[in-house]
Amino acid sequence: MFRICLLLALISIVPNFGIAAQPPNVIIIYTDDQGFGDASCLNPLAKFETPNLDRLANEGIAFTNAHSSDTVCTPSRYGLLTGRYCWRTNHKTGVLGAEAKCLISDDRMTIASMLKENGYNTAMVGKWHLGMDFPGDEQSRDWSKPVQDMPLDKGFEYFYGIPASLNYGVLAWFEGRYAKVPPTLYTAKKPNKRHIDYRIKPPYQQTPEETRQVLKKQGMEVAEDFIDNHCLTRFTDKAIEWMQGRATEAKNGKPFFLYLPYTSPHYPVCPLPEFHGKGECGGYGEFMIETDYHVGRILKFLDESGLDENTMIIFTSDNGPEKSWQQRIKDFDHRSNANYRGGKRDIYEGGHRVPFFVRWPNGINNPGRTWDGLVGQVDILATLASLHNFNLPDQTGEDSQSFLAVLTDSATDHERLPLINHGANGRFSITDGTWKLIMPHRKSKAELYNLSGDPSESLNVIDDHPELVEELTRKITRIVCSGRTIPGPRSANNDTGYWNDLIWLSEDEYVKKSHPKAKL
């Protein structure tokens, strides 16, 4: 019955140009700190080539105005998986550590839980960074006990990966709820000969005190067999191994969903030796070339297994490039942020306009095109729901708007509702069409840019358009206070009430406008 209903749903929403009768496998590849200019198909002046990313674009769609929902790891990942802005939770700025209460509550639908409900096998392989509950504390761990409040509790049936960014520790190869080699040793950052950051590699110490004696820094938990430059290979190996085990089911009507968040090119920039000397952008370019190589391994597997035609790959990054992008301009004449202003943590375009490619041979109409319209990573949830004719519950994906029409109809007039972006320090912006209003924050005044003629945000025209500023302020106020972007009943907006980053609103105004019966 499930397959029949799903077939009818696909026929009803997708033009008939050879789409497979069964739903596609879905792979989301999520890189870490990759800027818009770090894909050679988006940056003709890039100092390295990314042929496999270019293939995704050339055989699919390159979205050139796509945005992560935040400018750092944790909140962007929350937005991607839930279709809801992270600032609606109690996490307002920055990122979580490795050990924290998971930001995704067990009752909130994720892409994984939605697709699992629709008959998919689901897996996550890679970096989580949304909080995990480890057994005991650092002084009294019991690694024979399972990890709780983690991917297996959020819709994923299989998990292999690491808890967070490598600089936060608790580093081990977790599979399911356990690490086969527990993180019982300690380390700190070590010098990196190939980049201006650090390495996480042996030798490791027995105690935090020993680490401090040797490296003059506080120790963090690490497993004996963990080495930073093994991440990309291990993650790709495990992803392919898991897909191999589901290939027959996928061909017989039970598709799979794989979420593959890589750790590159986030620090530590640690390309394997076989990539040394490639490209013209030092260690960073080598690391991006290695990342591209592993994307190619995924494509090769799909082709050789007969799954390629009906697998949708979504490739994107969690935010713009780390601050070393400035040094790369001086040293290599490579702009990781392309022609955009700023990078990771910034509210400007360079902080959140990211590579975004969708490839689906059986489903994309007129592949090889670009789409310049506004989209957000929060929109992936609704897009996949639309693909399955699945009606999202009211308190689900409140900021997610489907762009399925862009995939299936090259002549679509799809227009995104206003998109909110959010800086690591809590600053807001709203983009509506080509206009972007950056809200006042602390001592910073509001700024207005017309991105159609000024994508680099070099000319603040706020004094020339007071009526537009008023209109955009009204729109962002409605989106913040109603708890949602898309039409529907009000949603619980956040877990903490008013917070100081809403500087354009007083607390009384916020409370009044957030009332269920308030008019917006």
**Same domain? 485 vs 368:** no
Q: What integer pLDDT is reported at residue 12 of this predicted model? A: 38
> What separation in angstroms does the CA of 201 have from each of 189, 198, 228, 348?
8, 10, 6, 35
Task: Report if residue 403 sits inside a domain.
Answer: yes
Whether residue 445 has pLDDT greater than 90: yes
Question: Which residue reads 């509950």 in tokens?
Answer: 133
Task: Report if residue 131 sits inside a domain.
Answer: no
User: Into how many domains does the chain fold?
Assistant: 2
Q: What is the pLDDT of residues 236-245, one digit of tens each?
A: 999 999 999 9
Position 10 confidence tier, pLDDT thresholds 50, 70, 90: very low
**Same domain? 240 vs 113:** yes
Instruction: Tally Cβ neighbours within 10 Å of residue 17.
Output: 12
What is the sign, positive or negative, of the torsion defined by CA atoms of 463, 468, 474, 476? Answer: negative
Percent of residues, the chain, with pLDDT higher than 70: 95
**Same domain? 248 vs 322:** yes
- Written as one string, the DSSP assignment of 389-417 is T----TTS-TT----HHHHH-TT----PP
For residue 279, give the DSSP letter: S
Q: What integer pLDDT is reported at residue 505 of this predicted model? A: 96
**Same domain? 449 vs 303:** no
Angle at 26 between CA 21 and CA 30, to 5 degrees: 160
Lowest mean pLDDT among 171-175, 488-492, 505-509: 488-492
- Give dist(CA 443, CA 503) in Å, integer: 10
Instruction: Tally Cβ neighbours within 10 Å of residue 74.
Output: 24
- Smallest CA-to-CA distance from 27 within 364, 313, 317 is with 313
State the Cα torsion 90-95-100-102 to the nearest 10°: 60
Task: Report if residue 195 sits inside a domain.
Answer: no
Q: Which of the two residues, 241 and 512, has the higher pLDDT score?
A: 241
- Written as one string, the DSSP assignment of 194-236 is TSSS-B--S--BSSHHHHHHHHSS--EEE-TT--GGGHHHHHH
- Smallest CA-to-CA distance from 85 within 516, 505, 476, 503 is with 476
- Smallest CA-to-CA distance from 232 within 185, 209, 264, 195 is with 264
**Same domain? 363 vs 483:** no
Whether residue 16 has pLDDT greater than 70: no
Tokens read off for 205: 């110490």
Whether residue 471 has pLDDT greater than 60: yes
Percent of residues, the chain, with pLDDT higher than 90: 91
Q: What is the pLDDT of residues 75-104, one digit of tens each?
A: 999 999 999 999 999 999 999 999 999 999
Q: What integer pLDDT is reported at residue 489 of this predicted model? A: 87
The residue segments making up the domain with residue 496 are 427-514
State the Cα torsion 80-82-85-89 to the nearest 10°: -130
Task: Report if residue 189 sits inside a domain.
Answer: no
**Same domain? 390 vs 444:** no
Q: What is the pLDDT of residues 194-235, one digit of tens each?
A: 999 999 999 999 999 999 999 999 999 999 999 999 999 999
483: domain CATH number?
3.30.1120.10
**Same domain? 402 vs 290:** yes
- Give dist(CA 495, CA 515) in Å, integer: 15
**Same domain? 10 vs 53:** yes
**Same domain? 262 vs 397:** yes
367: domain CATH number?
3.40.720.10
Q: What is the mean pLDDT of residues 308-326?
A: 98
- Smallest CA-to-CA distance from 406 within 145, 142, 97, 65 is with 65
Q: What integer pLDDT is reported at residue 163 of this predicted model? A: 98
Q: What integer pLDDT is reported at residue 322 of this predicted model? A: 98
- Cβ partners under 8 Å of residue 294, min gap 6: 232, 233, 235, 236, 262
Instruction: Tally Cβ neighbours within 10 Å of residue 267.
Output: 24
Q: What integer pLDDT is reported at residue 21 of this predicted model? A: 65
Task: Report if residue 382 sits inside a domain.
Answer: yes
Q: What integer pLDDT is reported at residue 9 of this predicted model? A: 42
Q: What is the mean pLDDT of residues 349-355?
A: 98
Q: What is the mean pLDDT of residues 18-30?
A: 81
Amino acid at the residue 98: A
Tokens read off for 221: 């938990």
- Smallest CA-to-CA distance from 281 within 43, 53, 33, 46 is with 46
Q: What integer pLDDT is reported at residue 36 of this predicted model? A: 98
Q: What integer pLDDT is reported at residue 368 of this predicted model? A: 98
Q: What is the pLDDT of residues 105-128, one digit of tens each?
A: 999 999 999 999 999 999 999 999
- Give dist(CA 166, CA 56) in Å, integer: 28
**Same domain? 60 vs 115:** yes
Q: What integer pLDDT is reported at residue 3 of this predicted model? A: 41
Which of 345, 379, 408 is the endpoint of a domain? 408
Which of 408, 439, 467 is the endpoint of a domain? 408
Task: Report if residue 205 sits inside a domain.
Answer: no
- Smallest CA-to-CA distance from 359 within 61, 10, 26, 3 is with 61
Position 516 confidence tier, pLDDT thresholds 50, 70, 90: confident
Q: What is the mean pLDDT of residues 441-462?
A: 98
**Same domain? 396 vs 507:** no
Which of 356, 376, 408 is the endpoint of a domain? 408
Tokens read off for 222: 């690490």
Q: What is the mean pLDDT of residues 509-518?
A: 83
Q: What integer pLDDT is reported at residue 494 of this predicted model? A: 65
Q: What integer pLDDT is reported at residue 520 of this predicted model? A: 59
Q: What integer pLDDT is reported at residue 18 of this predicted model? A: 36
Burial label for 306, CB within 10 Å (0-12, 13-18, 19+), is exposed
Task: Report if residue 186 sits inside a domain.
Answer: no
The pTM assigned to this predicted structure is 0.95
Whether residue 13 has pLDDT greater than 60: no
**Same domain? 431 vs 395:** no
- Phi first, then psi, for residue 516 (nearest 5°) are -55, -25
Q: What is the mean pLDDT of residues 252-273?
A: 98
Output b/e per residue, 328-364; b: 16+ Cβ within 10 A. Answer: beeebebbbbbebbbbbbbbbbbbbbbbbbbbbbbbb
Task: Report if residue 215 sits inside a domain.
Answer: no
Q: What is the mean pLDDT of residues 172-181?
A: 97
Q: What is the mean pLDDT of residues 19-42?
A: 92
